[in-house]
Structure 1
Amino acid sequence: MELGILKTITPRQKWNNEARDFTPWLAKNIEELNKAVGLELEVENTEVAVGPYSADILAKDTGTGKYVVIENQLEKTNHDHLGKAITYASVLDASTIIWIATDFTEEHKKSLDWLNDHTSDEISFYGVQVELWQIDDSRPALRFNIISKPNQAVRQAARSKAAEDLSDKRKFQFDFWSKFKEKLAKTKKIPSLQTPRPQYWYDVTLGKSNIHISNTCNTDENTVGVRVYIRNKIADTMLPFLESRKDEIENAIGQPLIWNPNPDNRDKVIGLLHSTDFNDQKKVEEALEWLVDNTIKFREVFSKLIKQAP
């Protein structure tokens, strides 16, 4: 059996011009980048004006609702593009910069690593190398290689140290969501999970702006909950659409849900509650397992349906 020869080809053979060719292609195929960086991004616009310059792509991280600047460079990295990316992020109030290039110098890799280690965990920098591979004369295949990304171990240590100064209630919530994230990550069902924080909620993306899963840990009432949270921007159309599929949704989840319990609120929710006892470690573990199972169910059911929404 004869084998083909695997080789790399220059990305400019497919995309001759960054602005005219690569940026539009990436905007239409943003899922390829999502898989590489472990985020769920939605493109807001391309060639976004920032003074006399333009940011290649402005996206939104649906897991956090924050902006992401994507800077494309079909050549070796240089200071000019790094400076522009930081400028674009500051003007557009982005919390994440993704710098894509065909080759990263060691100095620029170290710069991104340094920025990730010395900025707050609200700010993230990714260096992504773009490659095209080919077997003989086959169609080229894309590969994104992560050159630099936030160091989660360093950031987790900093968060744990900061948690020492929290109230007992906040410490418990931080620990609870840390365990929840760890358990949910082990299932490998959800590609991108947010950083645990000392608060009563923990959000999980549904892959669309203005709607997400918001889990709750109510230490005052000894309950945990999983809910679909719909922001008022789309609530007037999204809630009626989901209500029209109520039977289908509840059959898939396996039980009745709580629909719009606070009708006067502009934001809308659809959820489930589970009673527990946070003073009983066994029941805490049961609550964590319940949350993990139902978060996965909610995401599987609702992420498909909202794509059909008008």
Structure 2
Amino acid sequence: MDPDDPVAQAWVAYTYGGDPQPLIDLGILPANERETPTHSRPTRILRMSTPDVHSLDPISLRKVWPHEAHDFTPWLAKHIDRLGATLNLRLEQVEREVHLPGAGRVDLTAKQAETGARVVIENQLELSDDSHCLGLLGYAANTEASILIWIAQDFTSYHKSILEWLNAADTIDVYAVAVRAYRVRDDIFVADFRTVVEPTSASSRTTKRTTSTLYAGFYGPLVDRLRREGIRPVGRGGYRGQYRSFQTGHSNAIYSTGFPDGRPTVYLELKEEASYTALVRHKEGLDLAENTVWREDKPWIELERDSSFDLYGSEEDADAVRQWLGDNILRFREVFQPLLDQILLVENGQ
């Protein structure tokens, strides 16, 4: 009998019980010594080889990766699939030492394969500290990232509470991941990732297509289109989740989009009542859709689509909604921008 023959291995499993295994490891007897197969387990004891079992000895992360930027970050970029497997995320298009406008340098960026959502990864090889936590908050506020991953040796209860608070807002997905290193032999090491904090919706889903990452995937093409048209998204303090905000060129007015009650809506939001009142004076004669609403409870002008949008629906529906939002943001700019420039420049004494 050929020890490498998988059919023979299967026969051994059926005859002697257990899973198919290489015959050489089971110590199969010569043909004249075998017992006739029966439905009960055989009385003869098989000669099993003793496996070579090694212990895992925890060691300092610095023993494996002496320098965070020069050693650990390149290793993680090369083995990003291991981190992704821990978080059930498919990560791709990994880049190292990326400068993000308004946020500074980050260790790694990537994209979630299923949604195209931007992922920002921050590393450290010690216990979580305030400096890295502050950096992570900066990435949350100032970038278009939808997923933040903070890797550290371990996390304090204080830092975990901050990340859990961020996840509760459902505008960005935040993961805290503890990394461990073990020595098997003198020249063999093992790395292990363990999830410490994850989005509240992540544990109940088989894929990490959470609400915030789905909105990020939806908004990506719309943001790109408006950029090409000269309308840039608001970075610091800009909306996330189901909303996005765009610059008007004035600090106290923005264009925005959102889905209140599931209905696609575009807005012009002003911060000052006086500016809004001045704009209302020009209301008559403006080329706007009939269902444009001039709010009385806040200095906003809004236009709502007549049908709702299912974030989990077809890509064809998503394209139609993106087209509608983009067309109407551009219409708002065409109608309101000259008035905004006139009113706000006068108010600012320019």
TM-score by length of 2: 0.43
The structure with the larger Rg is: 2
Normalising to structure 1: TM-score of the pair?
0.48
Q: Which has the higher contact order (CA 8 A, sep 6+)?
A: 1
Q: Which has the higher helix share?
A: 1
